[in-house]
Structure 1
Amino acid sequence: MPATPAWPPKSAPRLFVPGPLIDNGHCVIDGQQGHYLLRVMRVVPGDIVILCDDMTGEWAARVATAGKRELTLDIVERLRAREAVPDFWLCPALLKKDRFDLVLEKAAELGAARIQPLVTHRCVADKLNLDRARTLLTEAAEQCARTALPELTAPTKLDRLLKDWPTGRTLFFADELGGEQAAKAFTRAKGPAALLVGPEGGFDDAEREAIRSLADACPITLGPRILRGETAAIAATSLWMGLAGDW
């Protein structure tokens, strides 16, 4: 007997689209996503595409019509509900573009719920193309078969972040001058959490004092070696996720 084809097909393209998606609904795809499906993946009517809406989960959809620039898909069935995401924010200082791209990509893969870019005194960059950054996050989530996207906010200055910090959310502060061992601090703390990571040049003395004066701040050390900004953000996020039980 012939083998039963896998469902959904493992080769099916995966895309995040605006929602909400519903049973027996329809979805029209155009623009860059339409170009990707039509010209790169070369889908035709009858092919299956996996859709996620960052709201209701993951759905299998069948191509109903395929024109020159857009497609219409019929929603077939929901495959998975939207994944549970730990209440963890990553607050990284802006870095050089390629290095910050890596932070965004890995934060999406690792499961950060929110990414709040920061501008500090020693940042070499002070701007972020939010549309491009959201595209990077989306592509990373699609490639890793995630059903949830991190919330990305516009860059803010460190003093504004501290002034508006929500009471009860622990702010783990990766301080190159030392603090509690990260693993111990992560294990001990309960409830909503966030991680603050500095730029290439680190925090200056005034910034460090301001952070430590925050009631919810918890200075941590990531070990005996000085880590680059992108390495610190990725390593500490990985450690927190593992200790929180997300792995």
Structure 2
Amino acid sequence: MSTPRLFIDDSLSEGAEIPGTPAQAHHLGTVLRRGAGDAVAVFNARDGEFAARIVALRKDRCAYVLGTRTRPPAAEPDLRLVVAALKRDALDWVVEKATELGVSVIQPVTTRRTVVDRVNGERLAAIARGAAEQCERLSVPEVRPALPLHAALDAWDGAPLLVAAERRGAAPIGQAAAGLRLPCGWLVGPEGGFEGGELDDAGRRPFVTAVALGPRILRAETAAVAGLAVLQALAGDWTAT
């Protein structure tokens, strides 16, 4: 039986008693059938990961006492995803997989062809937390409130941003990413792709580079994951030994 990993944003230290969330209490007691005395692991990016045990568990409340630290905090890649708001199931999947791939920030955007009129940020943040707990990373990506595409580009800090630009004759993503170093970002459009004017506006910004993902047209969620994998392999922490 594997030990559940739980993200806690409170300060963590050996010997401390830390309250859990109602969602964690439900998951531990109802889904996993755990109880007081059972082992868990508690973590965050600031303090690292600690062995712990459950000291209280009720329907909507729980608490843990922390033992020794098993992993110290460590730097994680500053790889960012800017993704057009997709339909619920597709966007949920993208957030989960982007978390597994190590992104630091997920910025949903609205575009001219976006068909979704609302993004549930709390739901996406919960999915990101759950994925971080499962994939053994210490941090949870920041899921930012949705913005119009132009506003997200206006607020960008100047780090390199590659944009998936199908049918534009752009350079292959592997060629463009080969010389990059983090921080950098990956921008993916909606199901119908960006409109030409949106790509033109993005391309006028000095930090934006249009790239191609091969000869096939990919679904938006596939493009999001494929591009992140390339960036991790060529510029991110997949290069670490």
Please show how residues 1-247 of structure 1 align to structure 2 within 5 Å. Answer: 11-67=2-58, 69-167=60-158, 169-176=159-166, 177-247=168-238
Distance 1:161 1:121 in 2: 14
SS in 1 for 2:214: coil
Distance 1:186 1:158 in 2: 22
Q: AA paired with 1:63? A: I
Gaps of 5+ in 1: 1-9
SS in 2 for 1:199: coil
Deviation string 1:5-47 (CA, Å, 9 cap, x unpaired) is xxxxx62222112221112111122512112222332333322
SS in 2 for 1:85: coil
- Displacement of 1:237: 0.2
What's the % identity of the aligned pairs? Answer: 38
Rg comparison, structure with higher value: 1
Distance 1:194 1:151 in 2: 14
| Residues matched between the structures, number | 237
Distance 1:148 1:121 in 2: 33
Residues 1:63 and 1:211: Cα distance change in structure 2 (over 3 Å) = same
TM-score with structure 1 length normalisation? 0.90
Residues 1:69 and 1:91: Cα distance change in structure 2 (over 3 Å) = closer
TM-score with structure 2 length normalisation? 0.92
Distance 1:158 1:111 in 2: 23
Contact 2:41–2:52 under 8 Å retained in 1: yes
Contact 2:45–2:74 under 8 Å retained in 1: no
Residues 1:123 and 1:64: Cα distance change in structure 2 (over 3 Å) = same
- Displacement of 1:72: 2.8
Q: CA RMSD in A?
A: 1.6
Q: AA paired with 1:182? A: I
Distance 2:197 2:58 in 1: 59
Distance 2:54 2:73 in 1: 23
Contact 1:16–1:53 under 8 Å retained in 2: yes
Distance 2:87 2:78 in 1: 27
Deviation string 1:156-206 (CA, Å, 9 cap, x unpaired) is 001112222213x11101101231110111112334211111111111121
| Structure 1 segments of 4+ aligned residues over 4 angstroms from their partners | none
Distance 1:153 1:72 in 2: 29
